[in-house]
Amino acid sequence: MVIVFDVNETLLDLRTLDPHFRRIFGRNEVRKEWFGLVLRNALTLTITGDYTDFLAVGGASLQMVADQQQVTLTNDDRNAIRTAMISMPPHPDVVPALEAMHSGGLRLAALTNSPREAAVSQLENAGVAPLFDAILSVEDTSKFKPAREVYEMASRHLGVATGAMTMVAAHDWDIAGAMRAGCRGAYVTRPGMALNPLYPRPDFVGSDLNIIAEALLAHPA
């Protein structure tokens, strides 16, 4: 069994971007609006058969928010947010949970919408990269999650069937895509997150990654 983790919001804390959004737009909440737009735009690109890397999607979405808010972005503003995205810290529960799973003999991998080079930098800066057997990016498929092809690509790279993978994420749509591809799903209910009742019910649900880790160690297959 391989435990596969989403990165942004699931492992890394996007709230550390709030000071930049407060400075540029006057309120923290714009960060949530922006990231929601990033995910919507990435999904639309996949549905329409187009692709550009996640950082470019983030930049375009930031410009859209600025246009909506009638705010003029500077290059320094863009660079500050881009740099902050690469250096986000892990949520407090991430390191002990990953270490427990790693010590317990579970194979760990990361699967992210971000370009692989950026994802490696993110996880290295967060101090958790050595715990992963593989850091995988959707760029190998030119599709964003939750496209089935992404999870199938991960299974091929990891040398296991999708049925031997458990996808851990704080996004219910990511879990839904993975489960439709044959994986198990483990949903971390980060603050402000909620399950869509129209999606398949995840195999594991917990408000803390340590709870998820305990469940996965107890039920590895």
CATH number at residue 209: 3.40.50.1000
* Structural domain total, the chain: 2
Q: Is the pLDDT of residue 221 over 90?
A: no
Do both 145 and 36 map to the same domain? no
What average pLDDT does range 163-174 have in this prediction? 98
Residue at a domain's end among 25, 56, 86: 86
Do both 80 and 125 map to the same domain? no
Summarised one tens digit per residue, pLDDT across range 71-121 is 999 999 999 999 999 999 999 999 999 999 999 999 999 999 999 999 999
Do both 183 and 96 map to the same domain? yes
pLDDT score, position 33? 96
CATH number for the domain spanning 39: value is 1.10.150.240
Summarised one tens digit per residue, pLDDT across range 133-158 is 999 999 999 999 999 999 999 999 99
Phi and psi for 160 in degrees, rounded to 5?
A: -135, 160
Domain assignment of residue 97, given as a range: 2-13+88-218
Beta-sheet pairing, 2-5 with 107-112 = parallel
